[in-house]
Amino acid sequence: METPQKDSVWKEAIETYFEEFLNFFFPDIAKDIDLEKGCEFLDKELQKIVRDSELGKRWADLLIKVFLKDGSERWLLIHIEVQSYFERDFAKRMFVYNYRIFDRYNKDVVSLAILADPSPNFRPDKYEVKYWGFKLEFKFPVVKLLDYRERWEELEKSKNPFAIIVMTHLKELETKKDIDERLFWKTTLVKRLYEKGFKKEDILMLYKFIDWLITLPEELTSRFHEEIIRYEEEKNMPYITTAEKIGIKKGYEQGIQQGIQQGIQQGIQQGIQQGIQQGIQQGIQQGIRQGLLEAIELGLKLKFGAKGLKLFAAISKIEDVDKLRAIKEAIGVAEDLSEIEELIS
């Protein structure tokens, strides 16, 4: 089952790259959507609609209001579910969510499913009831991510962000029992972000997806970061893998320099050593704080836009590293900006 953190990063990716999501997975639908009129994400409304379902307190991933290109003002709802494990009643749950949304809005609802589970045979795409001449058939489009294993060359050529996301998902499944192979593919996929010419904001966004999905043990994580830092230096693209980790590195280096200078001024070896240690500690803290602030600013921008950035002025005055770290983590899972505001006060 997906963890809340991975649920969050999937949702964030779809919200950030909604047009690319449609173009990649559902191109026929994308042709009929008028994104120039904008779209509206209705996650909170969806949660209210489905949380009391008899199927349990289960929430679908995304509910989005979009407009069509047919010249009219009518609109429909696209219900997107990312399913990462086998569920016997999945199709029934999709039906229940669909009719509950329809009942709430009295608008056409299109349900779409992304099947991210590891089972090749799990492919639910309809819910059907038939009795005595009565027939109900609910059928919905399904994308099975495992099918992209046969389209790897196509994924490598694509510059759509969801090509990288699908590649990451497939390699996460394939390398669960081989940590060296897992390290190789995590490094390769991150480097590919630069090779494909993504902008800095996109590299940071997609890196977060890769980093959260393909986890490594601590000893390999250090090797991974060393390799990415070296690669960035070679490419002269210091976009930073994780702002916090690079902040620590910069702070560490800065602390050493400050400590050396302080120690030299004292003029004695003991002073040098004490100065180095003090400078390192101060530098690390400064680096962590700066890295967290960079990550928070980017997270507010990507998730909440201009409204989110208005909070950054107040956040930037916070000195407590633990509080900043809590704010950074909260941004990833927050459904509303008010949840972040509560942490600032």
DSSP alpha helix (H) spans, the chain? 4-16, 18-25, 27-32, 43-50, 90-105, 152-157, 161-174, 179-195, 200-213, 218-235, 243-266, 269-309, 312-315, 321-333, 337-344
Q: What is the pLDDT along the chain (345 residues), one digit of tens a residue?
A: 444 445 567 888 888 899 999 999 999 999 999 988 888 888 777 777 766 554 443 434 688 999 998 876 667 778 887 777 778 888 998 898 889 889 888 988 999 988 888 888 889 999 999 999 999 999 999 999 999 999 999 999 999 999 999 999 999 999 988 999 999 999 999 999 988 888 888 888 898 888 888 888 888 888 888 888 888 888 776 555 444 454 544 554 555 455 546 555 655 555 555 555 666 666 667 777 887 888 788 777 777 777 778 888 888 888 887 788 888 878 876 777 877 887 776
Per-residue confidence (pLDDT) for residue 254, from 0 to 100: 57
pTM equals 0.66
Which pLDDT score is estimated for 252?
44
* Amino acid 243: pLDDT: 47
Instruction: Round to whole Å and give the CA distance between 194 and 198.
Output: 6
- CA distances 84 to 29, 112, 118, 175, 233, Å, are 23, 14, 8, 17, 37
Q: To the nearest 10°, report the CA torsion of 208, 214, 217, 220.
A: -80
Residue 61, pLDDT score = 67
Q: Is 143 exposed, middle or buried (0-12, 13-18, 19+ CB in 10 A)?
A: middle
Written as six digits, the tokens of 64 are 């989005």
Instruction: For residue 58, give the 3-state DSSP assignment.
Output: coil
